[in-house]
Structure 1
Amino acid sequence: MRLKYNHIISGIVTLIGVTMLFSCQGNLNEVREMDLQGDSPQAVAEGLNLKFTDSGRLVAILRSPQMYDYTNKNFPFREFPDGLEVEFFDENNEKNTITSDYGIIYDETGLIDLRGNVVIVTSDSTQLEASQLYWDQNKSWVFTDRPNTIKFPDGGVNQGQGFDSNQNFGNFRSRTNIGVQILDETEEEDE
């Protein structure tokens, strides 16, 4: 009788152990399936404050409440769902600032898509406002097809539908525009 009782207890313990082993393996497979599948980012950063340098010189500061890193995808990108602010510093350490409610950077193409209350303020206080703006980092070119407003330091205003320009706005082409330009007539009289 004692031998049978030990065999029964041993069999029950073995059965429970095997059941637990297989049930754990099933849960482990489910966890592995959830890992980085679907639309999950490979990393999430909060309270981002990145400084970019070139040969020891500060060239840009990027700040954002949150960034999702999808560089594990076939077409890698980084998303800033809560907006971003970027300060650029030129060779003379003059600052240009860009802010937007949303941003996405595509790594392979070098294209940055900024959306929602996009505002650029240049070092000479020129201010550009648009609902969406693209910046091609590889070509150093900024463009949009959306309505935009440019306010110049002298009080001039230009409202347009689409433009493209080099990133320092030295070569600016507006597609359609209405505006008020301020002319200094004293300069014309001196000539």
Structure 2
Amino acid sequence: MNYQRKLVLIFFLNFIILFSCEDNSKILNEINIELQEPVGIANQIKMIYTDSTEIKAILTAPKHLDYTNLSFQYSIFPKGLKVDFFDELGNKNEAISDYGILYNSTKILDLKGNVILKSYNGSELITNQLFWDIEKEWLFTEKFFTFQDSSYDFQAYRLDTNKEFTKFQTGELVGKIIVNDSIDK
């Protein structure tokens, strides 16, 4: 009789323990949202962006903080990042910075601190902040920058350009620019 009571008691306790457990993931996400804590932290990451099986960009960073649990989703790269992005011919261009924020909904990457953008053709852009619109493949900044390539060597505030630097607008320029007097027809 004692054995049966112990068995019933053990069964009853297991039943209570089993059914008293609940899924707390929703509560944990709400706590993270209130505290503005990242949903994930990763070290030594490598993110590959593709379009129709073609690699468009490879982002590497020593640390990644994922805030996709918030209503305005973003990711932070607090220890810097490097982005290798490729044109249609597979030519590699490189961007590095000390800090970065990727805004998921707008697909804009905000590069901050010692930003250097090197093109496969030798052109180089240096600034303290650069925004990169990933979908439109467009770069812009309101900060002071320097730009050098085989035809240009100048500094200015404000830049608005495509990734090839073939169409760009700047503020007032300082430096050397080679001007071709011929008119393209």
TM-score by length of 1: 0.73
Which whole-Å deviations, capped at 9, do the CAs of 1:115-150 have from their partners, x for residues lacking one?
A: 000111111110000000111224332111110000
**Structure 2, gaps ≥5 residues long:** 1-23
> What is the CA–CA distance in structure 2 between the aligned matches of 1:167 and 1:129, rounded to whole Å?
14
> What is the CA–CA distance in structure 1 between the aligned matches of 2:150 and 2:61, rounded to whole Å?
28
Higher helix share: 1
Residues 40 and 162 of structure 1, relative CA distance in 2, 3 Å threshold: same
Residues 177 and 65 of structure 1, relative CA distance in 2, 3 Å threshold: same
Q: Is 1:73 matched with 2:70? A: yes
Matched AA of 1:139: K
Matched AA of 1:81: P
> What is the CA–CA distance in structure 2 between the aligned matches of 1:153 and 1:115, rounded to whole Å?
26
TM-score by length of 2: 0.75
Moved over 4 A (4+): 31-35
Q: Match for residue 181 of structure 1?
A: 177
Q: Match for residue 99 of structure 1?
A: 96
Matched AA of 1:143: F
Q: Is 1:166 matched with 2:162? A: yes
Deviation of 1:59 (Å): 1.9
State how many pairs are aligned.
156
Residues 145 and 153 of structure 1, relative CA distance in 2, 3 Å threshold: same
Which of the residues 76, 83, 86 maps onto 2:83?
86
Residues 163 and 102 of structure 1, relative CA distance in 2, 3 Å threshold: same
Q: Match for residue 60 of structure 1?
A: 57
> What is the CA–CA distance in structure 1 between the aligned matches of 2:70 and 2:143, rounded to whole Å?
29
Q: Is 1:51 matched with 2:48? A: yes
Q: Match for residue 5 of structure 2?
A: none
Q: Secondary structure at the match of 1:93?
A: coil
Q: How does 1:15-164 map to 2 (within 5 A)?
A: 36=32, 37-153=34-150, 156-164=152-160
Deviation of 1:84 (Å): 0.4
> What is the CA–CA distance in structure 1 between the aligned matches of 2:57 and 2:108, rounded to whole Å?
17
Q: Match for residue 19 of structure 1?
A: none
Q: Secondary structure at the match of 1:88?
A: strand
**Structure 1, gaps ≥5 residues long:** 1-27
Greater Cα radius of gyration, structure 1 or 2: 1
Conserved? CA contact 2:36–2:70, under 8 Å: no
Residues 131 and 33 of structure 1, relative CA distance in 2, 3 Å threshold: closer
